[in-house]
Amino acid sequence: MMVVQNFVVDLNKALVFQVGHLGEAYEEWVHQPIVSKEGPRFFENEILEFLTRTVWWAIPVIWLPVVCWFIYKSIRMGLSCPHLALLVVLGIFVWTLLEYSLHRFLFHIKTKTYWGNTLHYLLHGCHHKHPMDGLRLVFPPAATAILLMPFWNLVKLMATTSTAPALFGGGLLGYVMYDCTHYYLHHGQPRTEVPRNLKKYHLNHHFRIQDKGFGITSSLWDKVFGTLPPKMDAKSM
């Protein structure tokens, strides 16, 4: 148990409807990580609890066929291979900016109200409190499916009928790469320099400076927007 401003957070009970009571103390509490591979219980309800847990390999199994289907749609509409490849790469690139922006401005939004704290804990706070919880490192597919609809509609507004599917497929592929990379950075044991530095970079965000280093798949946008952690230059990335 932990006592915060006269409120007791019982780590042995479902946490979601407790953390809101922390008020302004929530920000400090949620950024004091508990390093354990066993994640906490979120809900008393078994169905809700089940929906919060996702094995990492479900992400490529579920979404890579969807990526292929969207890309195939553009092929059927006569898109050339070079044009197709360019759009997929562009989609991945756009995703990296979205990944950075969501992590920095939404996932790390400061909250202090009951429902603000509760929603933040569900969205990202739980990951900072229990960073090694292997079943809550990737985004639940049901939630992803809901969010994909407005993004797909937005892409259709911005691109042509033939280019929109390839662009969206590239963005979705970027998401799959991101979620798998995120899991690997927490539980993988990289043996080569690039992934080893990326793992160090991300764990630095969790355990050292949590308001810097928002990139997951790369530090590109942290460099662009000036959110690189102190004493970490381009050479160390």
pLDDT of residue 28: 92
Residue 169, strand partner residues: none
Taking all residues of the chain, what is their mean pLDDT, rounded to a whole number?
92
Residue 73 burial by CB count (10 A; 0-12/13-18/19+): exposed, middle or buried?
middle
pLDDT of residue 6: 65
Span 69-124, pLDDT tens digits: 999 999 999 999 999 999 999 999 999 999 999 999 999 999 999 999 999 999 99
CA dihedral (217, 134, 45, 43) positive or negative: negative
pTM for the structure as a whole: 0.91
pLDDT at 3 over 70: no
155 neighbors 147 (Cβ within 8 angstroms): no
205 neighbors 26 (Cβ within 8 angstroms): no
Q: What is the DSSP letter of 136?
A: S
Q: Which residue has the tokens 């810097």?
A: 212
Span 187-204, pLDDT tens digits: 999 999 999 999 999 999
98 neighbors 107 (Cβ within 8 angstroms): no
Span 150-163, pLDDT tens digits: 999 999 999 999 99
Span 37-63, pLDDT tens digits: 788 999 999 999 999 999 999 999 999
Domain count, the chain: 1
Domain enclosing residue 25, as ranges: 2-236
User: Binning pLDDT at 50, 70 and 90, where does residue 232 land?
Assistant: low
Closest CA to 125 of 8, 235, 237, 15: 15
> How many angstroms from the chain centroid is the CA of residue 108?
11
171 neighbors 155 (Cβ within 8 angstroms): yes
Rounded to 5°, angle at Cα 47 from 44 and 48: 65
CA distance 98 to 92: 10
Those residues whose C-beta lies under 8 Å from the C-beta of residue 19, and which sit 6 or more positions away, are 9, 26, 29, 30, 117, 118, 121, 125
Region 132-160 average pLDDT: 94
